[in-house]
Amino acid sequence: MTAPRASTRGRAGGLAEEYYTALRGRVGHARAADATPRGARGGDGGRARGLLLPDSLSSALVFRLAGLPSAGYRDDGRSLLLRWPVDKPDASLHAVESWHYLTRAALTRWGPPAGPAPPAPPLDLPLPPAHARAAPEALAAPLPAAQRFVLIAPTATGLHKGKIKVWPGFDTLTRGLQNQGHTVVMCPPPAETDEARRNAPTAQLLPPLSLGAFAALTARSALVICNDSGVSHVAAAASARQLTLFGVTRPGRTGPWSPRAVCVGAEDAWPPEDEVEQQARRLLDGQQ
């Protein structure tokens, strides 16, 4: 959730960073921590405003109870809780396009520059030097500095409509790639380490990394192979070459927003192991 502050100032093509606050944790705590004087926030005194990307009733209720007027999509009977309800577009959009549309609609009503109409294909996540250094440091013990590696992410938290979001063939895929001479590593968060070991027991396990360092790790890899999960979107933001596997979600809705991503599978069918391995080999050989 993000709370842009009302202001008529900003950079061309979007808001300057000083005019929005990313909310982390409780809304009330974030508002209390935002000590920018009202007089410095624009002509209307700079009342904080919320932009709700989730469609849930609970997200609108949390902001309403916190006294934070918000914009969001009309959905789930929550229009009465929103100060600026926005009608959903008629077209079926990717999640990135949908959130971009909502953000522009809110900014248009609030006054700051709304930015470009279509979202840019590459997300171009900037990687600070400290994060860029952390990735090779994590690789230093198990791998020579120049060795290519495939990064797999054989986990995905939660369920989608009651269905597991993890492709069941990671063990077979890992062994197949290793038999072809590829080094396969994984770097799950601590809470998912046991599951990762069960799903791909022969992959080399790297120590846990911060989110920024993990993004840098995806960028260094020859290929990222993952489920439709947070890893897929981090890799997309870092412009990593990736192969994303679908079986319970829609690639056109939640797939990685990146021209360097290849998606296989469908909402109702996981891809077979041989298809995934062949696609991975083509990507590693530079054939696609």
pLDDT in tens, 191-212: 999 999 999 999 999 999 999 9
What per-residue confidence (pLDDT) applies to 157?
86
pLDDT at residue 178 tops 60: yes
What per-residue confidence (pLDDT) applies to 20?
56
What is the overall mean pLDDT for the chain? 85
Instruction: Measure the CA–CA gap between 204 and 211, rounded to whole angstroms.
Output: 19
| Closest among 220, 185, 227 to 206, alpha carbons compared | 185
What per-residue confidence (pLDDT) applies to 27?
44
| Closest among 151, 163, 154, 172 to 245, alpha carbons compared | 154
What per-residue confidence (pLDDT) applies to 91?
76
DSSP secondary structure, 51-110, as one string: EE-S--HHHHHHHHHTT--EEEE--TT-GGG-SEEEPPPSS---HHHHHHHHHHHHHHHH
pLDDT confidence band for 255 (50 / 70 / 90): very high
Angle between helices 211-220 and 230-237 (to 10 degrees): 70
What per-residue confidence (pLDDT) applies to 109?
93
Per-residue pLDDT tens over the stretch 24-83: 545 445 444 444 444 444 434 357 899 999 989 999 999 999 999 999 999 878 999 999
**Looking at the chain, which runs of residues are DSSP E strands?**
2-4, 20-22, 50-52, 70-73, 84-86, 150-153, 159-160, 163-164, 184-186, 204-205, 223-227, 242-246, 261-265
Instruction: Measure the CA–CA gap between 225 and 181, rounded to whole angstroms.
Output: 17
pLDDT confidence band for 180 (50 / 70 / 90): very high
Per-residue pLDDT tens over the stretch 129-161: 999 999 888 888 777 766 899 999 999 988 888
pLDDT at residue 23 tops 60: no
Confirm if 199 and 193 have CB atoms less than 8 A apart.
no
What pTM did the predictor assign? 0.80
Confirm if 49 and 68 have CB atoms less than 8 A apart.
yes
For the segment 8-37, the average pLDDT, to the nearest whole number, is 46
